[in-house]
Structure 1
Amino acid sequence: MPTPADLRPLLQALEAAMRAADLWQPQPPPADALASPLPFMVDTLRIEQWLQWVFLPRLHALLDAQAPLPGACSVHPLAEHEWSQRCPGAASQAVLAALLAIDAHLSQPASAGC
């Protein structure tokens, strides 16, 4: 059974894969871009920006606070759709594999926080 502690290495693997794929940015987007109310902030951020500046920090914060984790996750399909033409290649495949592992981990009942 996976535990919340098992998630941190998966998050670190995602960051490493994003860096290797040159999808990691040195500067955050403008504050107004991070204030979008839409899911994944699709109107203001690219998926890699959302992963870097929203998804990863929020999951790390939940782990640090020992707070309940999301009971399900399905980020991989969106990233796969977004990158299918824009970022083809082995580097983006490593990022997608990391996202698939995170989705699987968070979608298992042991990680659910109700």
Structure 2
Amino acid sequence: MKTSQNKSIVLRQKLPVLLDNLRDILQIHDLWSSTVPSEQAMGSRAPFACDSMPLENWLQFVFLPKLEHLLEQQQRLPENLAILPIAQIAFSAKHHEPILLAIEKIDRLFNAAEYSA
């Protein structure tokens, strides 16, 4: 059984690669925006800002920067993530399967379902 400290080490080693992979896939699938959402949209309190922006914008402007900041500042990372269920709804088209796989790897890493993502 992995300890909490070991899980943190594994997260910090593997997460940057998985985040870069998600970024690359969003760009490849033309889901990367050059327009930053409004302050109002960014201030949404709804889960995944679902009331003010599409999920790909939330991933780009909220999720990726937040996790990268936590990594850079050596701050505590979330214990668990569950982005895949909402992503399966938002990216239901078959050509979005690579995005779902990238998100699934991130979820699994945080939820300690695998250490070889």
TM-score > 0.5, shorter chain as reference: yes
Counterpart residue number, 2:94: 89
Q: Deviations over 1:53-82 (max 9, x none)?
A: 000000000000111111000101101111
* Aligned alpha-carbon RMSD (Å): 1.4
Contact 2:21 2:102 in 1 (8 A): yes
Whole-angstrom distance in 1 between the partners of 2:20 and 2:90: 22
Percent identical among aligned pairs is 32
From 94, 100, 107, the counterpart of 1:103: 107
For residues 1-114 of structure 1, the aligned pairs below 5 Å read 2-84=10-92, 88-90=93-95, 92-108=96-112
Q: Which has the higher contact order (CA 8 A, sep 6+)?
A: 1
Contact 2:11 2:110 in 1 (8 A): no
Residue type matched to 1:97 in 2? L
Contact 1:5 1:63 in 2 (8 A): no
Once the two structures are TM-superposed, the CA of residue 39 in structure 1 deviates from its matched residue by: 1.1
Whole-angstrom distance in 2 between the partners of 1:64 and 1:94: 26
Once the two structures are TM-superposed, the CA of residue 32 in structure 1 deviates from its matched residue by: 0.9
TM-score (norm 2): 0.84
Whole-angstrom distance in 2 between the partners of 1:71 and 1:8: 16
Question: What runs of 5+ residues in structure 1 fail to find an aligned partner?
Answer: 110-114
Q: Secondary structure at the match of 2:45?
A: coil
Question: What runs of 5+ residues in structure 2 fail to find an aligned partner?
Answer: 1-6
Residue type matched to 1:96 in 2? L
TM-score (norm 1): 0.86
Residue type matched to 2:53 in 1? L
